[in-house]
Amino acid sequence: MTVIAVLGLGEAGGAIARDLVAAGAVVRGYDPAVPASGGIVQAGSEADAAAGAGLVLSVNSAHDAVPALKAGIGAARNAVWADLNTGSPGLKRELDALARRGGVRFADVAIMAPVPGRGLRTPMLACAEGAGDVAAVLTPLGAGIEVMDAEAGAAAGRKLLRSVFFKGLAGSVVEALEAARAAGCEDWLRANIVAELAAAGEHTVDRLVSGTYRHAARRAAEMEAAAAMLDELDVPPAMATASRDLLRRLSG
């Protein structure tokens, strides 16, 4: 039977681990703050979880990724160590180097969508030496993994590039609606945002980019006024001032 260690049993790790159990894998889980449940075998440490596993999934946090690898690598000699945490490309390269020095194959695995509601079926992007092995183990169990022929850090980098857009967009929407609420027209702005997003097509990105460069100076002044308005509404203009500063740089 496939034996998989899952380090980190929080929202993402727990959902993935439970789906692996449901798919027939033996899952050894360790999390110092979350007890194993749903058929996951409770391990007492990273090394205990990794012992006898063919695949280790580190799904704790970027902050804990290096300590977890150092704690478990001695017991993972015959396993592939897959780091699923949202960390920088530099962190993934550091983990890869540590794994190589310990004689363990490493995979940089980026989770490309929210895990709740998808679990193991969440789209993933994998690279580095162990990426193909991760896909070979997890795909038959129901995972959807795209393997990149690239060094560690490439998958993490692509995820974070998407994050600049998606999280930046979400931040702008939240800030705009907060200000609209303070101004008494939240419903109007929400409807306007929905209409703009619904009308987006394949040429939207080209239009946004070309217009931003062409009209950077005028739009910088516009966002300066927007930031001033948010200050008057007692809404911190984090996204508005960031947009202003970007436009000023482009206009210079």
Distances (CA, A) of 41 to 29, 87, 119: 6, 27, 18
Looking at the predicted structure, is the pLDDT value of residue 144 above 80? yes
- Position 77 scores a pLDDT of 87
Domain's final residue, options 116, 150, 184: 150
Q: Closest Cα partner for 6 from 144, 41, 86, 127? A: 41
Structural domains in the chain (count): 2
3-state SS class at 147: strand
73 and 146 belong to one structural domain: yes
Residue 51 structural domain:
3-150
How does pLDDT run across 167-183, given as a tens digit for each residue?
999 999 999 999 999 99
DSSP letter for 164, please.
H
Shared domain check, 164 and 125? no
User: How many C-beta atoms lie closer than 10 Å to residue 37's C-beta?
Assistant: 13
pLDDT band at 81 (very low <50, low <70, confident <90, very high): very high
**What pLDDT digit, counting tens, does each position of 111-124 carry?**
999 999 999 999 99
* Separation of alpha carbons 222 and 227, rounded Å: 9
> pTM for this one?
0.92
Confidence at residue 86, expressed as pLDDT on a 0 to 100 scale: 96
The answer to whether 120 and 141 are in contact (CB under 8 A) is yes
Do 32 and 78 belong to one domain? Answer: yes
CATH number at residue 101: 3.40.50.720
